[in-house]
Structure 1
């Protein structure tokens, strides 16, 4: 097959994939999605409306229990409970499991916002049964994290962790939500990213120098919890929206 024939076949394939649907097909598909999204929002609001002040802990689902970051997340969660907070995680294994485990160890509120994924993600056993919520849509789940968290603890993680962190930073930077503390734990892990933000984004004037104060980089469990405590020594606890 020549290049011209290949290009024509490719164009036809695209046209077929995006062929016009009739109005009934569009209404049926869109209505189902709308109601599914609404149901996830309703369940989230109902289950989380009365949980009280909580801090979300983010990090990799792949971190094993013998890893130092797993153990740090577990201790941070326990300390948060001892300081009067509940703990919210993404509900899965790894750092998320550590956060729920630490909260459970101190008889604190242990919330899991689980996402249905084809790999990696099954809810862990340390979530309070009535505080486990399963989501199909990442964007609905992210609203729940931001709406019901009084702070973010960001442990080492991958794309999902970065997504949650930068979502919150963007919303705070643009004044779409009230400011709350965002804490990055692990200078060896996050230091390169922080340097890049300072040396590239600030230098290119794509963010302001003041935006670097929207988060804190710490090394220890005690420092992480102290950032949360110090913030609420200055500002009252209140909903983010």
Structure 2
């Protein structure tokens, strides 16, 4: 969703150019650094009033009428009713469903769109948008302005965002930041692989899997997010008093 699983692995052309070694490397790097700086600075300005955001990820391929579409829509509406801003990648599928739920509930519905070779049009339920050229700048904003990640069923893009959030939590870059997997039937095989393929072989620490929480209903998602928000607020107050 926010990760854009409909990109078919093509990636952004600006990211490809960034990784290519140009003939005039120094001047080319300076030009790109300037563009990256402007993009990140502009995104911070556009989103700086968001205090209680939740980034929702999932497949761009799921259409209206599918139970996952309705689940994303209802989850976003629930979060909006509890005072949260919904942030997605702004595209179709479950991104659209989440933006739709937030918009219909009268909330701020944010879309962080990415420029792709096959253009991804912003969905009609976004009421604030920002356009990115670089994937890494966009991913920074998903984390910076969110209290939690909500992972609807999705493909490589969704998994990318999920594992990045786990890495940030595991390395203590972010704290009390729930990664909520919605629809246990979909996610159970992955959790089983984490158990047998990672934890049983000692590749992750015991209890690392507990960084992931599972929910099947919108209200369960909201409870997880609200609980984490309260912990985050307490941590901020303690840090301010230190």
TM range, normalised to the smaller chain? 0.7 to 0.9
Instruction: Choose from 169, 175, 179 the match for 2:176.
Output: 179
Q: Does the alignment pair 1:147 with 2:150? A: no
CA contact (8 A) 2:175 2:232 kept: no
Alignment of 1:100-111 (within 5 A): 100-111=99-110
Change (3 A) 1:20 1:146: closer
Calculate the TM-score normalised by the size of structure 2.
Answer: 0.85
Determine the structure 1 residue equivalent to 2:7: none
CA distance in structure 1 between the partners assigned to 2:224 and 2:50 by the alignment: 21
Q: Closer, same or farther in 2 for the Cα pair 1:77/1:28, shift >3 Å?
A: same
Larger RCO of the pair (alpha carbons < 8 Å, separation 6+)? 2
Cα distance in structure 2, aligned partners of 1:219 and 1:141: 28
TM-score (structure 1 length as normaliser): 0.85
Q: CA deviation at 1:215?
A: 1.3
Deviating above 6 A after TM superposition, structure 1's stretches of 4 or more consecutive aligned residues are none
**Which 10-residue stretch deviates more, 119-128 or 51-60?**
119-128
The farther-off stretch of 75-84 and 225-234 is: 225-234
CA distance in 2, matches of 1:71, 1:237: 34
Question: C-alpha distance in 1, partners of 2:99/2:195?
Answer: 33
Residue segments in structure 2 that go unaligned for 5+ positions in a row? 1-19, 237-242
Matches for 1:197-208 after TM superposition, within 5 Å: 197-208=194-205
Unmatched segments (≥5 aa) in structure 1:
1-17
Per the alignment, in what secondary structure is the counterpart of residue 236 of structure 1?
Answer: helix
TM-aligned CA deviation for residue 135 of structure 1: 0.7
Shift of 1:229: 1.9
Question: SS of 2:219's equivalent?
Answer: helix
Which structure: larger Rg?
Answer: 1
2:176, 2:232 within 8 Å by CA — same for their partners in 1? no
Residue by residue over 1:157-177, the C-alpha shift from the partner in whole angstroms, topping out at 9 and shown as x without a partner, is 111101111111101100112
Count of residue pairs brought into register by the alignment: 217
**Change in CA separation of 1:178 and 1:78 when aligned onto 2, cut-off 3 Å:** same
CA distance in 1, matches of 2:45, 2:57: 23
